[in-house]
Amino acid sequence: MRARGDSIRSTQGAYNKPMRPFFHRDFLCIGHRGAPEAAPENTLSSFALAIAQGADAIELDVQLVEDTLVVIHDDELDRTTTGSGRVDAISLEALRGLDAGGGERVPLLSEVLDLAVDKVGVNIELKGRGTAEPTAALLRERGQVPAGILLSAFDHRELAAARAVAPEYPRAALFGRLRGNPIKASLAVGAVAMNLHRRTARADLIGSARDVGLATLVYTVNDTDEALKLRHMGAAGIFTDVPERILQALGRGSQTSRSSAVSSRASVNSRDVT
């Protein structure tokens, strides 16, 4: 699909971290925070499992703690870790000492990117305020291939900031409830895609977006019939908590056995990371 967002410069030269192009097939199955129905969300084991199951890409959320990009969704620690209180009120050392499920730590963005290199594309949701510039800086410092990355945000000011400092990294405008014209808002930040809630993903809207070069990705779809319907409507892909189930419905079940997926998770769990 040819988008009307900013052009993506060549992946040769400065970029040395190979990644699968994000939009590499007509309909994408994206692991929403990994494979969280089977492993703790936004952890290395969850992302490793989604990859082992055959997901086309993974989605994650970044926030900034002591100038370090960490992968966690909520503003509060309570739901997904053994800690309590706000993420922005804890030190990095204390955060990394918490259990994020199954004995895992809250990962750094750099760790997840290391895991994904040459395997899947990565949708990085800019969850916290002021995350666009450090995310772009990290991607450039690592030599991360732009085609394998998609930066998204509900706060479109973060997308504008990302566009200003690193226009080569593709962007997706996130929407919950639709107010105004989402296509116009997406194009205003040079997005290549708009990410819609499943309740707002209408065939006419998807078609109108496609007509101006915008891909439509829909979240969070765990029902196989709904996934097939969205594919028929022309969506470019879905975010799901159950990539294995969706892939089987799409006729693209992973060749990796369940035991291999579990082995992959165990390998991540045993990794000595800092």
Q: 63-95 pLDDT, tens per residue?
A: 999 999 999 999 999 999 999 999 999 999 999
For residue 169, the SS3 value is coil
3-state helix, strand, coil in the chain (%, to 5): 35, 20, 45
- Tell me if residue 73 is catalytic: yes
- Tell me if residue 32 is catalytic: yes
Structural domains of the chain in order of their starting residue, each with its CATH number? 28-64+118-265 (3.20.20.190)
For residue 225, the SS3 value is helix
Residue tagged active-site, from 73, 156, 197, 232: 73
For 152, the token pair is: 């998204």
Q: Which residues of 8-36 are buried (b: 16+ CB within 10 A; e: fewer)?
A: beebeeebebebbbbbeeebbbbbbbbbb
Cα separation of 264 and 244, whole Å?
15
pTM of the model: 0.89
Residue tagged active-site, from 32, 156, 197, 232: 32
Q: 91-131 pLDDT, tens per residue?
A: 999 999 999 999 999 999 999 999 999 899 999 999 989 99
Cα separation of 233 and 147, whole Å?
25
